[in-house]
Amino acid sequence: MDDARYAMAGSDRIEQERTVISGWLSEPSTGECLACYVWRMLENGCRGLRWTARFREITAPRATVLEGRLGRMGAYCDCEIFCFAYEVDPLYFHIDELVDVAEQAVPLCMSVRSGSTKPCPLWRRVPRW
């Protein structure tokens, strides 16, 4: 009986540590822009504007129209940000003959001012027709 109680306490502690670590890993870095953050977080999947909302809550809580602005660009989920809102700037990414980003390590974010929801120079707006 005592062993079960200690096992439960140990598993609770491990779960708490896992939550702290996952929260820390999903924190935007100091000066990291929205696009670089979402690009990095998409390795964990896309479910709506979850990563965009997390970025806004942590770095720019006053940017209450961010999701609406992205929606007007055609981005209604995190992965669509890179289809309809922002694209890589070929000055910083290697582009293959099919105009796709070649397999490479993502360059470090070029940083933005605190509270900004705009992308750093690694990204440019997708041209509208």
Tens digits of residue pLDDT in 78-129? 999 999 999 888 787 766 666 565 555 667 899 999 999 999 999 999 987 6
| Alpha carbon 4 to chain centroid, angstroms | 40
Question: Does pLDDT of 24 surpass 80?
Answer: no
Cβ burial of 62 (10 Å; 0-12, 13-18, 19+) is exposed
Tens digits of residue pLDDT in 54-81? 999 999 999 999 999 999 999 999 999 9
**Residue 92 CB contacts under 8 Å (≥ 6 apart), including other chains:** 107, 121, 122
Tens digits of residue pLDDT in 113-122? 999 999 999 9
